[in-house]
Structure 1
Amino acid sequence: MATCVHIDEAKDTQPRANGCEECLKIGGYWVHLRTCLECGHVGCCDSSPNKHASAHFHEDKHPVVRSAEPGESWKWCFVDEVLAP
């Protein structure tokens, strides 16, 4: 599996919330959650209606998220479009 400098340099940041931060505020729902490894923002995945994890990347330019799903630890780099275990 490929890797990138963003994933190699990503922090082990703890999630700031127990659900998608924006969905919790607006009463939305999510399919899966992603945690930003730069700031801990928790956003919903691109299968969710609002795609808040991707929106966070486009707004704040934080490149790497980790799955926030139980039993999963993979990381995704939005910049290089690389998945790492």
Structure 2
Amino acid sequence: MSCQHLAEAGEPEPQSAYEDGCPQCVAAGFTGWVHLRTCLNCGVVACCDSSPRRHMSAHHAESGHPVMRSYEPGEKWRWCFEDELLG
């Protein structure tokens, strides 16, 4: 199965440095994120679904931006929320 969202996804600069952690968690005083993800539509950085607050999934639900990628050092895989496909 092919995914047009993955094919069309850009590569914007992340809006915050990896070392700064999940901006939403930090702003709320939490430090328990697991991994960080970057929205490939707008560059927002947020925590993954393994993290207690799942900020990247919340970003997708609020914005409709379909594709994110891992922001972990050395990882470049992408995920389409709409088609539930790894790319």
TM-score (norm 1): 0.92
Counterpart for residue 23 of structure 1? 25
CA distance in 1, matches of 2:42, 2:25: 18
1:3 to partner: Cα distance: 3.7
1:17 to partner: Cα distance: 1.0
Q: For residues 3-82 of structure 1, what are the structure 2 equivalents within 5 Å?
A: 3-18=2-17, 19-28=21-30, 29-82=32-85
- Secondary structure at 2:15 match in 1: coil
How high is the sequence identity, in percent, across the aligned residues?
A: 57
- Secondary structure at 1:58 match in 2: helix
TM-score (norm 2): 0.90
- Displaced runs of 4 or more, over 3 A: none
1:24 to partner: Cα distance: 1.5
The number of residue pairs the alignment matches comes to 83
Q: Which structure 2 residue ranges, 5 or more long, are not aligned?
A: none
Give the aligned CA root-mean-square deviation in angstroms: 1.0
CA distance in 2, matches of 1:5, 1:63: 10
